[in-house]
Structure 1
């Protein structure tokens, strides 16, 4: 394979992995541990 093709596939896989992890953290089981800063500091 061409080096450019390997680079593009690698960067694409990394971006998909980061996006998947962010969605899992936002909406999956770890989301229950997140706090809302606006609710924590109500006036």
Structure 2
């Protein structure tokens, strides 16, 4: 069984997009978020 190139490209693109989105959500709201600095808090008057 041979897969069409368009199907392989579409599935690959979708997997990469979901992986990047998942990593961004994990970094923003998961345990690594404690290490993020808020630049607006650093420069308050």
TM-score by length of 1: 0.97
CA RMSD of aligned residues (A): 0.4
Larger Rg: 2
TM-score by length of 2: 0.93
Other-structure match for 2:24: 22
Unpaired runs of 5+ in structure 2?
A: none
Aligned length: 43
Runs of 4 or more consecutive aligned structure 1 residues displaced over 6 Å after TM superposition: none
- The answer for unaligned runs of 5 or more in structure 1 is none
Q: CA deviation at 1:3?
A: 0.4
Spell out, residue by residue over 1:2-38, the C-alpha distance to the aligned partner (whole angstroms, 9 max, x if none).
Answer: 0000000000000000000000000000000001111
